[in-house]
């Protein structure tokens, strides 16, 4: 029988009522003749709460801050949210007379790297699940989790259930991977920031990849990477309404194409500048080597003009990685002989994305003009073949998203 993967995010399984509604959608697909693998997230807010418990547990007594913690135990705790919802979904399906059982990552097994907290899926063994499909038993899989080479529970990074679903769809050779969420598709920008955002009928893998990696959290970046590599037909749909969603597909399958198809934002960015570093070969490597070793996700990088053999180096990273970055750079300081480290953690990144940029010039200029018209100062700029990103003051982030959305003609009439 053809197979289908259906993933339900946190809001879509937030309580038993929602789980029942989601199960109703599963039953409909089962009745259409599919063997279904349902992938579930933890109930809305649950993972955040579990992360908070870990941080509190690791805080030294009497301190106000958080301590360093064992990432393997972090995974043991945060993976538990999905265990609850997979069991509940299986129970509700059974009650609807859809034969189903739950699967934890280790039971399938979904084998991952050992990078606890940010593991990558390496292999999914589908034989056991396929045998159960043959017995008429549908699968409910805990998203977000797998088993590391150390035999311990691992998790795939925040939003990782999307990646569980796509990887499973590829391994099961499923006809489609449907991502049910609290919006009814991929929009030209986050509809929570711009209510005139337009739902896209289709979006190319490459554009979705850029939007996701630049902050559009509707799909985890890695899930889009996998869908693109394994040609998984990926759909984003509403779990609340029966509406056509968005298909993520090959560029060739898209007829109408705007130059810019979407605007993404990342709210919690920081701009870090190292003042007075020597301007000579090997210095960038000496700075970014320790940052990479410390696992800091460096994004934009700018080196200033040199004066008297010295220069300034600026980069951006997520705000919650600044402490790590500072520690890594202070450890390397004697080599670098740099002066001060200046951190601006009140910035945000806004990005316009579109494959049409490959053949059209003037996108960056139009973006800068639209920001200037709102009086928004640009702190750092980076470009790639299909995107332009800017770092701006966080307080102007919403305004910038709305202005760019309008400037590129994305707003609904
Ligand atoms: P889930 O819990 O179902 O995984 P997420 O909260 O991770 O859901 O992702 C869905 C959210 O992504 C939406 O509620 C929306 O606010 C946000 N979002 C950001 N950018 C976009 C976009 N371009 N299109 C649709 N949703 C977006
Ligand atoms: N529950 C996990 C998270 O909140 C995984 C997911 O929802 O995709 O990050
Ligand atoms: Mg998500």
CA distance 397 to 65: 28
To test the pocket of ligand 2, the residue of 121, 142, 161 to mutate (highest count of ligand atoms within 8 Å of its CB) is 161
Ligand 2 pocket residue status of 262, Cβ below 6 Å: no
Of 85-99, 187-201, 273-287, 361-375, the one with minimum mean pLDDT is 273-287
For ligand 1, atom 3: residue with the closest CA? 9
User: Given the structure tokens 């509190």, which residue do they identify?
Assistant: 56
How many residues comprise the chain? 413
Assess whether the C-beta atom of 220 lies below 6 angstroms from ligand 1. Answer: no
Residues 177, 67 share a domain: yes
The residue whose CA is least distant from atom 25 of ligand 1 is 186
Taking the centre of ligand 2 as the mean of its atom positions, its distance from the CA of residue 100, in whole angstroms, is: 22
Q: Whose CA is nearest to atom 4 of ligand 1?
A: 9
| Domain shared by 176 and 274, yes or no | no
- C-alpha count within 13 angstroms, C-beta hemisphere, residue 63: 11
Asked if the structure places residue 103 within a domain, the reply is yes
| DSSP helix/strand/coil, 366 | helix
Domain assignment present for 157: yes
Taking each helix axis from N to C end, the angle separating 80-95 and 71-78, rounded to the nearest 10 degrees, works out to 20
Q: Is the CB of 159 under 6 A from ligand 2?
A: yes
Same domain, 270 and 380: yes
pLDDT in tens, 366-410: 999 999 999 999 999 999 999 999 999 999 999 999 999 999 999
Q: Please name which of 267, 261, 268 lies closest in space to residue 352, comparing C-alpha atoms.
A: 261
The answer on 33 and 166 residing in a single domain is yes
Residue nearest to ligand 2 atom 6, measured at CA: 159
Residues whose CB is less than 8 angstroms from the CB of residue 19 and which lie 6 or more positions away in sequence, other chains included: 13, 85, 88, 89, 92
Residue 121: give its domain's CATH number: 3.40.1160.10
Residue 225 lies in a domain: no
End-of-domain residue from the set 115, 148, 182: 182
Are 178 and 269 within one domain?
Answer: no
- Distance, CA of 7 to CA of 387 (rounded, Å): 29
For residue 369, the domain's CATH number is: 3.30.2130.10
Same domain, 31 and 143: yes
- Residue 110 included in any domain: yes
Q: Which two tokens stand for residue 326?
A: 């500072």
Atom of ligand 2 nearest to the CA of 157: 9
Q: From the CA of 41, how far away is ligand 3's center (Å)? A: 8
In terms of residue numbers, what domain contains 63?
3-182
pLDDT band at 307 (very low <50, low <70, confident <90, very high): confident
At 328-355, the pLDDT tens digits run 998 876 666 656 899 999 999 999 999 9
pLDDT band of 238, cuts 50, 70, 90? very high
Distance (angstroms) between ligand 2 centre and the Cα of 123 equals 20
Compute and round to an integer the Cα radius of gyration of the chain.
23
How many domains does the chain fold into? Answer: 2
Single out the residue in 182, 215, 250 at which a domain terminates: 182
pLDDT tens, residue by residue, 278-306: 888 988 999 999 999 998 999 999 998 88
CA dihedral 62, 66, 70, 73 (to 10 degrees): 90
DSSP single-letter state for residue 113: -
Per-residue confidence (pLDDT) for residue 338, from 0 to 100:
58
pLDDT tens digits, 121-169: 999 999 999 999 999 999 999 999 999 999 999 999 999 999 999 999 9
pTM value is: 0.94
295 against 222, higher pLDDT:
222
- Give, for ligand 1, the residue of 10, 39, 183 to mutate: max count of ligand atoms closer than 8 Å to Cβ: 183
Which ligand does the CA of 50 lie closest to?
Answer: 2
């Amino acid at each position: 029988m053809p197979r289908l993967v259906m993933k339900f995010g946190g809001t879509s399984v937030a309580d038993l009522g929602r789980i029942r509604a989601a199960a109703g959608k599963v039953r409909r697909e089962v009745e259409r003749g599919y063997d279904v693998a349902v992938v579930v997230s933890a109930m809305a807010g649950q993972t955040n709460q579990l992360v908070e418990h870990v941080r509190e547990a690791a805080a030294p007594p009497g301190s106000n801050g958080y301590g360093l913690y064992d990432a393997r135990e972090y995974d043991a705790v945060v993976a538990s949210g999905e265990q609850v919802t997979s069991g509940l979904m299986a129970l509700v399906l059974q009650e609807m007379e859809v034969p189903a059982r739950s699967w934890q990552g280790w039971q399938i097994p979904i084998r991952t790297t050992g990078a606890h907290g940010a593991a990558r899926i390496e292999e999914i063994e589908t034989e056991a699940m396929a045998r159960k499909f043959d017995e008429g038993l549908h699968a409910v899989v805990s998203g977000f989790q797998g088993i590391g080479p150390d035999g311990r529970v691992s998790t795939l990074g925040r939003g990782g259930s999307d990646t569980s679903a796509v990887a499973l769809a590829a391994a099961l050779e499923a006809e489609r991977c449907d991502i049910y969420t609290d919006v009814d598709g991929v929009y030209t920008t986050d509809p929570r920031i711009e209510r005139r955002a337009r739902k896209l009928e289709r979006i190319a893998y490459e554009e979705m990849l850029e939007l996701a990696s630049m902050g559009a959290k509707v799909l985890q970046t890695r899930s889009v990477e996998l869908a693109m590599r394994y040609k998984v037909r990926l759909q984003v749909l509403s779990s609340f309404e029966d509406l056509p969603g968005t298909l993520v597909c090959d560029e060739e399958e898209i007829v109408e194409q705007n130059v810019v198809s979407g605007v993404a934002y990342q709210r919690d960015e920081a701009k870090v500048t190292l003042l007075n570093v020597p301007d000579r070969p090997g210095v960038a490597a000496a700075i970014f080597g320790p940052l990479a070793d410390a696992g800091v996700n460096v994004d934009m990088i700018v080196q200033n003009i040199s004066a008297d053999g010295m220069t300034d180096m600026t980069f951006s990273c997520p705000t919650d990685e600044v402490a790590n970055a500072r520690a890594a750079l202070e450890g390397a300081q004697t080599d670098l002989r740099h002066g001060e480290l200046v951190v601006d953690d009140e910035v945000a990144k806004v990005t316009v994305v579109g494959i049409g940029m490959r053949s059209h010039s003037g996108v960056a200029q139009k973006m800068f003009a639209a920001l200037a018209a709102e009086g928004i100062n640009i702190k750092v700029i980076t470009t790639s073949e299909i995107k332009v990103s800017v770092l701006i003051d966080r307080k102007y982030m919403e305004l910038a998203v709305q202005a760019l959305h309008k400037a590129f003609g994305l707003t609904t009439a």
